[in-house]
Amino acid sequence: MFVPPDGSDGNSQSFAAILLSDHKQATESEPNNVPKTASRVNLGEDLNGRLDAPDDVDDFVFHGSANEYVRFTSFSRRLGSPADLALRLLKADGNALASAESQAGQEATLGATLPAAGDYVLEVRDLSHRGGPRFVYHVEAVAEPAKPSKDQKKHGRLVRGFLPVCVGRFGGDSSRRNGCDRCHCGPRGLRRTDCRPRPRASGRGE
Read off the pLDDT of residues 110-140 as tens digits, 9 standing for 90 and up.
999 999 999 999 999 999 999 999 999 999 9
Segment 164-177 mean pLDDT: 42
In a shared domain, residues 70 and 117:
yes
Identify the residue with better confidence: 84 or 184: 84
Residue 45 has pLDDT above 80, yes or no: yes
Neighbours of 80 (CB within 10 A): 13
Does residue 109 sit in the same domain as residue 164?
Answer: no
Say what the pLDDT of residue 2 is: 38
126 and 202 together in one domain: no
> What is the residue-averaged pLDDT of the chain?
76
Question: Nearest-CA neighbor of 140 among 17, 23, 18?
Answer: 23
Of 120, 144, 168, which closes a domain? 144
Judge whether 105 and 130 are in contact, CB under 8 Å.
no
Give the integer Cα–Cα distance in Å for 163 and 175. Answer: 12
Q: Is 41 within a domain?
A: yes
pLDDT category of residue 40 using cuts at 50, 70 and 90: very high
Kindly state whether residues 119 and 40 are assigned to the same domain.
yes
- The C-alpha angle 135, 36, 141, rounded to 5 degrees, equals 50
Q: Are residues 37 and 76 in the same domain?
A: yes
Position 180 scores a pLDDT of 46
In angstroms, rounded to a whole number, what is the distance separating the alpha carbons of residues 6 and 11? 6
Task: Give a yes or no: residue 9 inside a domain.
Answer: no
Asked, for residue 153, whether it belongs to a domain, the answer is no
Pair 137, 163 in one domain: no
| Same-domain status, 19 and 104 | yes
Domain presence at residue 152: no
Residue 151: pLDDT band by 50, 70, 90 thresholds?
Answer: low
183 belongs to a structural domain: yes
* Residue among 200, 189, 206 nearest 165 (CA): 200
Q: What is the pLDDT of residue 172?
A: 45
Full residue range of the structural domain in which residue 121 is found = 15-144
Q: Are residues 136 and 186 in the same domain?
A: no
Of 66-80, 142-156, 179-193, the range with the lowest mean pLDDT is 179-193
For residues 45 and 42, give the distance between their C-alpha atoms in angstroms, rounded to a whole number: 6
User: Which of 144, 175, 196 delimits the end of a domain?
Assistant: 144
Residue 166 to residue 169: CA distance in whole angstroms: 9
Overall domain count for the chain: 2
C-alpha torsion angle, residues 94, 47, 33, 109 (rounded to 10): 50
Flag whether 119 is in a domain: yes
Whether residue 5 has pLDDT greater than 80: no
What per-residue string of b and e applies to 42-60 under the rule 16 or more CB within 10 Å gives b?
Answer: ebebbbbbbbeeeebbbbb
